[in-house]
Structure 1
Amino acid sequence: MADGGHYVRDILDQLDELSGRDKISVGDVVEAFGPTAFLPLLLVPALLVTSPLSGIPLFSSLCGITIGLISSQLFIQRQSLWLPGFLWKRTVRGQRLHEGIVKSRSLADWVDRHLGDRLHAFTSAPGRAMAYLACMVAGFAMPFLELVPFSSSLLGLSVVFIVTGLLAVDGLFVLLGYCIIALASMIPVFVFTGLLSA
């Protein structure tokens, strides 16, 4: 890695500091990171939707809506994050959050270990706008793919790669994120084609 940082692991560790509480709301997470920390806040639901927490009914949808809203505000260059009240008040049990974070640490360590300083065109100003738009599409697609196996987790992984690539100025990870979005978009096609031919 270019600067030796631990982007994803540090964010998970900061999130894990909240898991000692009985329940943690989305508002608690925003307050812990700060309402102007858009990229770390975008990374949180993306990581969680790749964890076993995605098995909770509607959890993937809520993470997707959160990803979509944060990305859209990055795209329009809003200075401070706004989320609707129904998201702000949503909670998860501290123990379940901790378990999800533990399961995500191997992914975090792998991403941090492989980050570099590459393909700056994908992390420059025009490239960043495209990345925010891709994250927005991935997030808002999740509620529609709630019942399609693996699709939400793959879309979450794509956002993890894109956001970490932006944080570390590693365009290769942004590009990998785009490739995963393309792969995830094919899953519902195969599922529905299989259902129709059954």
Structure 2
Amino acid sequence: MQVTADQTSQRTSDVFRGLTQLGEGESIPLGLITEALGDRAFGLLVLIFALPNIIPMIPGVSTISGVVIAIVGLQMLIGRRAPWLPGFVASRSLPRGETQAMIARTMPWIHRLEAFARPRAVFMTRGVMRMLVGAMFVLLGVVLALPLSWIGNFPPGVALLVMSIGLLEEDGLLVGIGHVLGIFATLLVVVIVGGVIAGAAWLIG
């Protein structure tokens, strides 16, 4: 199955699974993913880059994930209808084998959320509230870009997973849950970073 921009009626899992068939060779260019996904690219790009922080199968991807998610969120915040990636990001590629394995391992999570998700409270996914979702994506993207361990990356990754599927399925309840999880994840990271700084200060001083 090829992912195309007119697949807006498909469930998230169907489109997500089709990503592995994009392009040729052993890698999947990010620019090609953005072009193929059309108006679903915001939510799906966030979903793609949230998952490695939940199941860390692609080493060192958390900083790249955070940067891409923050860029996507910023564009939602300023009201863009389709995402644009700068050249230095669009030219990067995802390793096809690791991406296929990651999708296979996380698909049960996505199916569970899809079973719960349905269009409701759609105002949470549109207009000003969509911009608020973009602001949360920016915040959590910055958190992921910090040099934290998997323990620090997991909570924002879960929040992004829930919120991105809520956005894709137009489920305002899931988006709201994602906001709550995002705030909790941010506070948790602040506590972790504060503890590290306090510990370092104690050792030095």
- The answer for unaligned runs of 5 or more in structure 1 is none
**Residues 1:63 and 1:93: Cα distance change in structure 2 (over 3 Å):** same
Amino acid at match of 2:163: I
What does residue 6 of structure 2 align with? none
**Residues 1:121 and 1:37: Cα distance change in structure 2 (over 3 Å):** closer
- 1:97-147: CA deviation from partner (whole Å, max 9, x where unpaired): 111111111111111011134334423422222111111211122112x32
What does residue 92 of structure 2 align with? 90
- The answer for unaligned runs of 5 or more in structure 2 is 1-8
What does residue 43 of structure 1 align with? 47
Taking the TM superposition and a 5 Å limit, the aligned residue runs for 1:75-114 are: 75-114=77-116
- 1:22-68: CA deviation from partner (whole Å, max 9, x where unpaired): 122212322332477333333322234333235x12x1111111111
TM-score (norm 2): 0.79
- 1:55-89: CA deviation from partner (whole Å, max 9, x where unpaired): x12x1111111111111112212244321222112
**Residues 1:93 and 1:37: Cα distance change in structure 2 (over 3 Å):** closer
Contact conserved, 1:158 with 1:177, CA < 8 A, in 2? yes
Distance 1:117 1:162 in 2: 14
Distance 2:151 2:23 in 1: 26
- 129-138 or 72-81, larger mean C-alpha shift: 72-81
Corresponding residue pairs, total: 191
Aligned to 1:52, which of 52, 56, 64? 56
| Deviation of the 1:162 alpha carbon | 1.6
What does residue 66 of structure 1 align with? 68
| Deviation of the 1:193 alpha carbon | 5.2
Q: Say whether 1:188 aligns with 2:184.
A: no
Distance 1:116 1:34 in 2: 21
1 or 2 for the larger relative contact order (CA 8 Å, sep ≥6)?
A: 1
What does residue 165 of structure 1 align with? 166
Distance 2:194 2:80 in 1: 40
Contact conserved, 2:49 with 2:69, CA < 8 A, in 1? yes
TM-score (norm 1): 0.81
Aligned to 2:15, which of 11, 14, 17? 11
% of aligned pairs identical? 24
